[in-house]
Amino acid sequence: MIIVGAILVLIVLVILFTLRLISNHAAADKQLVFFKEKRTRAKLISKSEDKIEFSVDVPYANQGGNEGIFLDAFVRIYLPDEQYNGALLRGRVNHPAAPRTDDYFEARLVPPHEEGHLTITFEATPRNGKKTAAEAVLGMPDVEVALYVERRGRMELFHNKENILLTKEELQELVQ
C-alpha cells in the first residue's frame, strides 16, 4: 500500500513538472512583442501623378531567451468604399534584412533579445474620378491597418494582430 501511494505521488509530481515546463515554453512564445505605439510616422518613398508610395516601421523585440520565428506577415487595410472610394490603398510587410517588392514575406529567425522592426510599405493610387495620387491621398480619412504576424516560438503556431492608425493629417503631410 505504501509503495502504491509513493508511485501515485511520483506520477502526480511528474505530471505537475511536465505541465510547468509546457507553461514556461508557452510563456516564452509570448515574449516576442510588437510596440505599435512606437511606430514611425509615415515616410514618403516616392510620388508620381499616378502613385504615392510610403512606409511605416513597427518595432518589435524578442524579450525572451529563446529563438523565435516570423513565418508570415501581411496587412489588411480597412478602407472600404463606403468610407472612401477615391483611392486604392495596398500594403505589404517586409523585414529590412530581406526587403522584397512582391507580396511575399520571407520567414525569419528572431534570435533571443533581438530588437528590430518590420516595415509596412503602402501604395496609394487614384480611382473613381480622382485625377492624381496626391488628390486621392488628400481626401483620405483616418485609415486603420491591421498587421498580422504568424509566429512560432517553442510551442504551436500563433498569430498576432496589431491595429495601427494612419491619421488623415499624417497622410496629408505626405503630399504637401
How do residues 84-96 score in pLDDT, each as one tens digit?
999 999 999 999 9
> pTM surpassing 0.75?
yes
Helix and strand element counts for the chain (H, E): 3, 9
pLDDT digits (tens, 9 = 90+) for 27-42: 545 578 899 999 999 9
Q: Under a CB-based contact definition with an 8 Å cutoff, are residues 34 and 73 in contact?
A: no
* Of residues 109 and 23, more confidently modeled: 109
Domains of the chain by start residue, with CATH: 31-173 (2.60.40.10)
Q: According to the model, what pLDDT value does residue 21 have? A: 60
Cα dihedral 42, 46, 51, 53, rounded to 10, equals: -30
pLDDT digits (tens, 9 = 90+) for 128-147: 988 999 999 999 999 999 99
Burial per residue of 14-25, b for 16 or more beta-carbon CB atoms within 10 angstroms, e otherwise: eeeeeeeeeeee
